[in-house]
Amino acid sequence: MKAKIFDPENRKWWTLGAVAFGLFMIMLDNTIVNVALPSIQSDLDIGISELEWVFNGYALTFGVLMLTGGKLADLLGRRRIFIVGLVIFTAASLACGLASSAAPLIGARVVQGVGSALMIPPIYILLTIVFSDLESRAKAFGIVSAAAGLGSAAGPLIGGLITSAISWRASFIVQVIVVASIMVMGRQYAGAKGTKSVFDVMGAVLSAAGLVFVVTGILQSGDYGWLTAKKDFMIGDTVIIEEGGISPVWPLVAIGALFLAWFFFHIRSRERAGKEPLLSTRLFRNRVSNLGLVTQNVQWLTLQGSFFVVSVFLQTVRGYNAIETGLVLTASTVGIILSSGIAGRLARRRPQVFLIRGGFVCFVAGILCLLVIADATSDIWTFLPGLFLAGFGIGVMLTSSVNVVQSSWPEQDQGEISGLSRSASNLGSSLGTALVGSVLVSTAFPGNEEYRAALIVMAIIGLIGLGAAVLIPRDVMPAQGQPQATA
């Protein structure tokens, strides 16, 4: 019986289940901590700046190490790196739950980000390799996309329930329990061994430095604004930019851009010398893959941005608590799960490009629905159709965009393209939250109009994503059974 359960055909489904649970946990961690922040602040008696780093320390590390995680998966083995990431994440989650002050909690959150950065790239590599045909791969990507969406949407509800019933520390301990179950399933992971090539340390340092400055700069927009600084920007006790000067967003992003330019020249010179770089420059010469990366970036920007604005609106204007807010957002979760669940069937009937375009149209329709029928005094049901449509559209296009990007490259490039793909997605998530946050704190809008303005921004960006999707050739990744164009 054991041999039958764990034969090669069944092992791929064990692999899918394990990585889906892993991604659910990572995305849950992104949002579950938000609800617990007030309790953390009260319990540990920490300031606002330290509290911000409890969240940003994780998000920043998570984002900047994604390229490194993808390359390490290629060099040392996808299964091995995923397991290492699980172990690091588990130890860090336990440390978070036991932290007695701000410093160890922030440090543990940074280490959690390292674990997540090692876990996510192998997820998409493993699924691309294990599920070789379009329909089963689309179904697999649909399941992990549903897991990611469920983790993001359910975070406030689960976090609110655990924090209210037990404590904020229990939110981290629960993650340890989930990881233990993933490790049991992980004994049957399918996956190729690594290549054991020499790791590009300089490339990893340059890419990480560039992304740190870019993401940090974007995150400053909520506190300092996008154009001019709303208050003094200080490092320690030294004022670097006075109030009214240029926003620190742009100097930080510019420094990051310089590091990324240095990184590009480094990997190009390394390739010319016949050495293996952290990221091959040829990955930027595939038009289909590049457009897919743009749609992924926009999708995560709109996902995080729209969830953020609706969550803030419900809590600050409607007066809902975290649990009630999570229940309302369940409409989006249902949409994501439903569309992701039928991803395989849709891929069999329609080209992936059609699904990406349709997903953006559905998302924009959902945002417009929120703008038209939901406001500060309307019945709560008025939020549900728009949230469901937006979630359904996101579920459709997330699955298809990942499929298009990952399937544009052969197995030997899966680690690098997976890291690049997740970096683009994480940058979109950071930009979405920062962009919406800067609109919400703006004084340019009377009453509650800043919420409508934020939703309008999300709709406009959704249309930009639709424009990128229109540029993807229609004959790329056709429906199952039809001739398929080469990337």
- pLDDT of res. 3: 46
Query: What is the reported pLDDT for 186?
Result: 53
pLDDT given at position 460:
93
- Cα 184 versus chain centre, distance: 25
Question: What integer pLDDT is reported at residue 154 of this predicted model?
Answer: 67
- Contacts with 274 (C-beta within 8 Å, 6 or more apart), sequence order: none
Integer CA distances (angstroms), 371 to 12, 271, 432, 439, 449, in order: 43, 50, 18, 16, 11
Q: How many CA atoms lie within 13 A of 130 on its CB side?
A: 27
Nearest-5° angle of CA 213, CA 216, CA 221? 125
pLDDT of 1: 44
How many other β-carbons are positioned within 10 Å of the β-carbon of residue 414?
Answer: 26
Task: Report the alpha-carbon distance of residue 268 to residue 261 in Å, rounded.
Answer: 11
Which has the closest alpha carbon to 433: 303, 256, 314? 303
Secondary structure of the chain as H, E, C letters: CHHHHCCHHHHHHHHHHHHHHHHHHHHHHHHHHHHHHHHHHHHHCCCHHHHHHHHHHHHHHHHHCHHHHHHHHHHHCHHHHHHHHHHHHHHHHHHHHHCCCHHHHHHHHHHHHHHHHHHHHHHHHHHHHHCCCHHHHHHHHHHHHHHHHHHHHHHHHHHHHHHHHCCHHHHHHHHHHHHHHHHHHHHHCCCCCCCCCCCCHHHHHHHHHHHHHHHHHHHCHHHHCCCECCCCEEECCEEEECCCCECCHHHHHHHHHHHHHHHHHHHHHHHHCCCCCCCCHHHHCCHHHHHHHHHHHHHHHHHHHHHHHHHHHHHHCCCCCHHHHHHHHHHHHHHHHHHHHCHHHHHHHCCHHHHHHHHHHHHHHHHHHHHHHCCCCCCHHHHHHHHHHHHHHHHHHHHHHHHHHHCCCCHHHHHHHHHHHHHHHHHHHHHHHHHHHHHHCCCCCCCCHHHHHHHHHHHHHHHHHHHHHHHCCCCCCCCCCCCCCCC
Structure tokens at 434: 């920062």
pLDDT < 50: residue spans in the chain: 1-6, 479-487
Using CB atoms within 10 Å of the CB of residue 319, give its burial: 0 to 12 exposed, 13 to 18 middle, 19+ buried: exposed
pLDDT for the residue numbered 225: 78
Tens digits of residue pLDDT in 51-78: 667 777 787 787 778 778 877 877 777 7
Closest-CA residue to 358 (of 385, 386, 331, 397): 397
Return the CATH fold of 2-199+278-471. Growth Hormone; Chain: A; (1.20.1250)
DSSP lists the bridge partners of residue 290 as none
Q: What angle do CA 172, 176, 178 make, to 5 degrees?
A: 110
- Residue 404 CA from chain centroid, whole number: 17
| Res 9: pLDDT | 56
Count other C-beta atoms under 10 Å from residue 108's C-beta: 23
pLDDT at 389: 93
